[in-house]
Each structure stands twice: as structure tokens, then as C-alpha cells.
Amino acid sequence: MILNMYKPKGWTSFDVVKKVRSITKEKKVGHGGTLDPFAEGVLVLGTGPDTKKLGMISDTNKEYFATLKLGTRTDTYDIDGQVVEDKEIPMLTLKEVNTVLKSFIGEQYQTPPMYSAKKVNGQRLYKLARKNIEIEREPCLINIVDIELITFNSPVIEFNVTCSKGTYIRVLGNEIANQLGTVGHLIALKRKKVGEYAINETIQIDDLVNNGCFKEP
């Protein structure tokens, strides 16, 4: 079966996989695209034979709601990292911020961050990053399908973005801040859609037990 799960903040994607595996008693459970621990929202899971469908689901576009704080950069580009740089924020208008956001629409190359689950030469990048080892990463072609400014109240920018597989919104946030003449990091991230799977149709972890389909082990 395919499950449109809601990943809570503070959980890893694998935490959700383990929990669903335990509740459903399915030996084979996978997900269709990692969400960072600080992020929340849509995490599509497949169980049993339906795990074969996850590759196709993972290839679809994703939609996110992101909150970017300007003036401070962390080593992970998000709220879970250590502050590595502070920089003054220039006086910015709503129009200037919107123009910079719109400039990112289209295909472009993006370098995966060291703090990520991506494998390079068989090693997870975040494991190397935790040892203060940085290696060269091949930039990947991504596509920002659409980006929309929601609010700007310095130092915080809220925006929606629809993008292709492989896009790191943390990296995008860092690049937006750079284009605005400062630094920044994400303080919140919510995945609203993965292909046709929307956040308003997600299943909470507790719902798997409370709906009577499964029993807590």
C-alpha cells in the first residue's frame, strides 16, 4: 500500500519508516523522498510490493513552504546547525526580495550540501560532515518550477516553491540570501505536496493505530 504520511518536526524520515513498519507489521517499508529532521509535512511511504512505485513517486515535483531568516548562516543551512557566519542585512524592499526570488525560476545546477543523506562514493555526506571532512560534490541539474513570496518582514522571508526532484530548499535559501547581499538559513520548512499527494490528505502516525486498521505493538 501507498501511505501519504505526515512527518513531524524532529523525526527523521527513517524514524517514520521504522514506526510504520512496526505498526503495520510489514517487513518492507520505504519512502519516496527524504525530509530533513527539522522539516515537516508530506512523506510518501510504500509497503510490501508497492515499494516499487516509490521511485516513480520520488521523480515527481515537490511543493514546499519555507521560512528563511536573513543575517545568520549555519553549517547545515537550517536551524539545526551551528552558526558559522553573521552578516548585516541591507535595507530591502518587497519588490527587491520578490525580484530575487523570481530570478531562481528555471533549470539550474545546485551543489548538494555536505549535511545531506546523499551518497558519494558509497558514503553518506552527513557522516563525513560530522567528522569535519568536506569532499567535492558534483552539481546536479534541478528545476525551480515556481516560487512565490508570501511575506517579508525583515529578517524573515516566507515563500512557496515548486521544484524538481533533488532540489535542496536549504541550499536555495542560502543562495537567495547571498543574492540579497547577506547570509541566511531556514528556520522552518513544510513539504506541502509530492506529486499528487497533498498535505491536507496526510495521515498522522497516531491515525494508523486509532483508525482501527492497526494496533500499536
Question: pLDDT at residue 217 above 80?
Answer: no
pLDDT tens across 106-135, in order?
Answer: 999 999 888 887 887 777 888 888 888 888
DSSP 90-142: PP--HHHHHHHHHTT-EEEEEPPPSSSS-EETTEEHHHHHTTT-------EEE
| C-alpha distances out from residue 138 to 113, 119, 129, 135, Å | 11, 11, 16, 10
The residues assigned a catalytic role are: 36
Question: pLDDT at residue 147 above 90?
Answer: yes
SS3 for 71?
coil
Report the pLDDT averaged over residues 63-86: 97
Q: What pLDDT is attached to residue 211?
A: 59
Q: What is the DSSP letter of 200?
A: G
Identify whether 112 is preceded by a cis peptide bond (ω within 30 of 0).
Answer: no
Confidence of residue 57 (pLDDT cuts 50, 70, 90): very high
Q: Which amino acid is at 138?
A: E
As a whole number of angstroms, the distance between CA 158 and CA 156 comes to: 7
Report the pLDDT averaged over residues 81-99: 97
Q: What pLDDT is attached to residue 137?
A: 87
Mean pLDDT (the chain, rounded): 92
Q: For the chain, percent helix, then strand, then coil, each to nearest 5?
A: 25, 35, 35
Q: What percent of the chain has pLDDT over 70?
A: 96
As a whole number of angstroms, the distance between CA 78 and CA 170 comes to: 6
pLDDT tens across 8-33, in order?
Answer: 999 999 999 999 998 888 999 999 98
Report the pLDDT averaged over residues 145-164: 98
The residue among 33, 46, 14, 48 whose CA lies nearest residue 169 is 33
Q: What pLDDT is attached to residue 215?
A: 47
Domains and CATH numbers, the chain: 2-59+195-210 (no CATH), 62-193 (3.30.2350.10)
